[in-house]
Chain A
Amino acid sequence: MAEAFKTLFSPGHTACAGCGQAIAARLVVDTAGANTIIANNTGCLEVFSAKYPETAWGVPWIHSLFENAAAVASGIEAALKYLGLKDKINIIAQAGDGGTADIGLQALSGMWERGHDILYVCYDNEAYMNTGVQRSGLTPFEANTSTSPIGKILATGNLRPKKPMPEIAFAHGIPYVATASVGYPQDIQRKVKKALAIKGPKYIQIHVSCPLGWRHAPNLTLDVSKLAVETGLYPLIEYENGKLTQVRKLTKVKPVEEYLKSQGRFKHILNSPDAIKLIQAIADSNIEKYGLIEKKA
């Protein structure tokens, strides 16, 4: 029966219905193939995919702590190098946004700096969803979370913008940095394939929507993720060897309201034009910075 499902990330995991992270995780591991070893930080993905004594993974997979998937993967890489098997096996370290941008950043920075041949994948659902939607370093401006709740007097959500993780990765001088979105599944496959063909440390950050934490219907996961890209709030970019080599151009830029009104976590600002203006400014600066619109000659 198990053979019917040709995936290395099996059904029966305990993710919520419509989980964006589950989609992205399957795309990543199936693209990497069976010759892969995965180290996983603590987070939603770890909890729902490996509910002891069961596991959804069809590849060797290890979880140690919240902060050290990058360090564990570095050890695995060193061991494989010693055994002369490095060229045959892909090593992936993966985590959510909290495990990447907050708790695991130190280990991750070390992995980049030492130049290990590892693909690090960050599944960015923009808060600590596993423990009940607490804000993380990658929570966007104004999002309502349980630790950045909207008050009666000061009706604002998260007061800080997203931490620029792709730029932090880029600053380490690593050969490949990319952002992707679960709204574009084939793009994730392409980027993972491309990253695994490159030697050295790689970083891919995948925007994955979370129906529970973002408060949208579970069947809209991909549509909501797509809107983030189409409004310019989540630019899909690729840095190769210190240069911005590719961006996903936007043919028609949608206003940020479309993205904001699709989710309950932004409900409180829909009647506040000032707050929307600030978020539109973030999108506009992304469009300007990465050249997301084709310039007409």
Chain B
Amino acid sequence: MAKVKHDIGIAKPRSSLNNKTGSWRTEARPKFLQKNCIGCKICLLICPEGCITGEAKNTYNCDYLYCKGCGECAVICPKKDIEMVKE
């Protein structure tokens, strides 16, 4: 059986990481204060970019290479431990 060429229309998994969408930020960036964080993980759960990482209390932070600055993490944080600061 002839071997089918499979390289057309196929992209490498997670290759979107090459695309640094952080340059889209125009106004503000979130600042993770890491003071009153209770580790509820909600910021990580709802980040549309998925660029927030962290494991325990006061360890959460985001990758500015990808963050588009929508500000949803700052709105949802129950302890107001994320602040939007001017670029």
Interface residues of A (CB under 8 A from B): 1-2, 4-7, 9-20, 22-23, 26-27, 49-59, 185-186, 211, 217-223
Residues of B whose CB lies within 8 Å of any CB of A are 9, 11-21, 24-25, 42, 45-51, 53, 63, 65-66, 68-72, 74-76
B74 to chain A, nearest CB (A): 7
Residue of A at shortest CB range from B15? Answer: A54
Main secondary structure of the interface of A (DSSP, over half): loop
Closest to A218 in B: B70
CB distance from B55 to the nearest CB of A (A): 10
Number of A-B residue pairs having CB atoms within 8 Å of each other in the complex: 114
- Do B42 and A18 have beta carbons less than 8 Å apart? no
Residues of B within 8 A of A16 (CB): 68
Nearest Cβ distance between residue B68 and chain A, in whole angstroms? Answer: 4
Across the interface, B63 reaches (CB within 8 A) one of A11, A18, A23, A26, namely: A11
The 7 A-B residue pairs with the shortest CB-CB distance in the complex, in nearest-first order: A219-B71, A18-B70, A12-B16, A11-B66, A17-B68, A17-B70, A12-B19
A227 to chain B, nearest CB (A): 13
Contacts of B13 in A (CB 8 A): 55, 57-59
Contacts A17-B24, A23-B46, A51-B19 given; indicate if A5 touches B53 (C-beta within 8 A). Answer: yes
Which residues of A lie under 8 Å from residue B47 when comparing CB positions? 23
Chain B residues near A9 (CB-CB < 8 A): 50
Q: Could you tell me if A14 and B75 are in contact, using CB atoms closer than 8 angstroms?
A: no
B67 closest partner in A (C-beta) = A11
- A4 engages B53 (CB within 8 Å): yes
Contacting pair A55 B45 (CB below 8 A): no
Residues on the B chain within 8 Å of A19, using CB? 48, 70
What 15 new A-B contacts, CB under 8 Å, besides A1-B17, A13-B16, A56-B16?
A5-B50, A11-B66, A17-B70, A22-B50, A52-B9, A54-B12, A55-B11, A55-B13, A57-B13, A58-B14, A59-B13, A185-B42, A185-B46, A221-B72, A223-B75
Beyond A10-B50, A14-B19, A17-B24, whether A221 also contacts B14 by CB under 8 A is no
